[in-house]
Each structure stands twice: as structure tokens, then as C-alpha cells.
């Protein structure tokens, strides 16, 4: 990832790690070839993603066609997951998206935008939104309504 992504993600991680516990687990994209099988690449990447998911996790597949949620809805979900003792795991697909296996494992599908966003930007947006949701739950002035 570019330096600005690492720096941006690290800044938000530093702000919320103590209370939320924040970890980015990167799964390498499959090596693509011009004459390769896209379905095989998607499945390989998705298998690697699902190997990182714990059984009791609340899993959300980030999909363009997923449900658009607000920061307050995210905050409320985080709060409920904390009460239930569950971890939130967000799945971000590779260049060709997620497999049906990932969608089936997911408890929900959310969208950050109806636009397709580049992976580096998604990482920073997710980290910022987790921080914003945390600030809402903790009456921190960062989030204003």
C-alpha cells in the first residue's frame, strides 16, 4: 500500500485500538495472467479471506450493491457487537470482487458507496468511519450531527 494509506490507517488505528481493537489483515491478490480464469482468481482470494475469519465473528461483505448505512448505524452495530462479545470482520474483495462463499458467510452486506472505490482508499475510509463511530459512542466531539 502507498505510504499515505499506511499513515492514514495507522492514525485512526492509534486512536481506536485500545477501545475497539483494530487489525488489518491483508490477503494477497491472486497473480493474474492475460489468459487466466477470473472465477478461479476470485475463489482463491475468497478462500484466503475466509481463512482469516473466526467462527463467532460478525462478518460484513463490503459490496457496491450492499446496504448503505450511516455512521450512527455503524456505531449502533459496533455497540451491539461489543455487548454480544463478537468481533466485526469486514471482507473487501480483490479486483474482481468476492465469491458467493464470502457472501454466504457474511451476516450482512454493506456498501461504502455506489461507486467503485480503489482498495487503498477503502482502507482509509473504513478506518476513519470506525473512528467516527467510536467517537459517536463516546460523546467525543469528532462526530457532529
Position 128 in a domain: yes
Residue 37 lies in a domain: no
For 121, counting Cβ atoms within 10 Å of its Cβ (0-12 exposed, 13-18 middle, 19+ buried), the class is: middle
C-alpha cell at 101: 462463499
Domain membership of residue 143 (yes or no) is no
In a domain? residue 47: no
% the chain with pLDDT above 70: 100
Average of per-residue pLDDT across 27-34: 82
Write out the residue range of the structural domain in which residue 74 sits. 3-25+54-137
| Per-residue pLDDT reduced to its tens digit, 73-100 | 999 999 999 999 999 999 998 888 999 9
Task: Enumerate residues 6+ apart whose C-beta is below 8 A from 110.
Answer: 60, 61, 62, 63, 66, 67, 68, 69
Residue 48 placed within a domain: no
Amino acid at each position: 500500500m502507498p505510504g499515505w494509506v499506511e499513515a492514514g490507517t495507522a492514525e485512526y488505528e492509534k486512536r481506536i485500538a485500545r477501545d475497539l481493537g483494530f487489525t488489518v489483515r491483508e490477503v494477497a491478490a491472486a497473480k493474474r495472467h492475460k489468459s487466466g480464469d477470473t472465477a478461479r482468481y476470485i475463489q482463491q482470494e475468497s478462500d484466503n479471506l475466509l481463512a482469516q475469519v473466526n467462527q463467532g465473528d460478525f462478518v460484513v461483505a463490503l459490496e457496491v450493491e450492499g446496504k448503505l448505512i450511516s455512521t450512527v448505524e455503524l456505531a449502533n452495530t459496533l455497540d451491539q457487537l461489543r455487548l454480544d462479545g463478537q468481533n466485526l470482520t469486514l471482507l473487501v474483495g480483490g479486483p474482481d470482487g468476492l465469491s458467493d462463499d464470502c457472501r454466504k458467510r457474511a451476516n450482512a452486506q454493506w456498501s461504502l458507496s455506489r461507486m467503485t472505490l480503489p482498495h487503498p482508499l477503502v482502507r482509509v475510509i473504513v478506518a476513519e468511519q470506525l473512528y467516527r463511530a467510536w467517537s459517536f459512542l463516546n460523546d467525543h466531539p469528532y462526530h457532529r450531527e
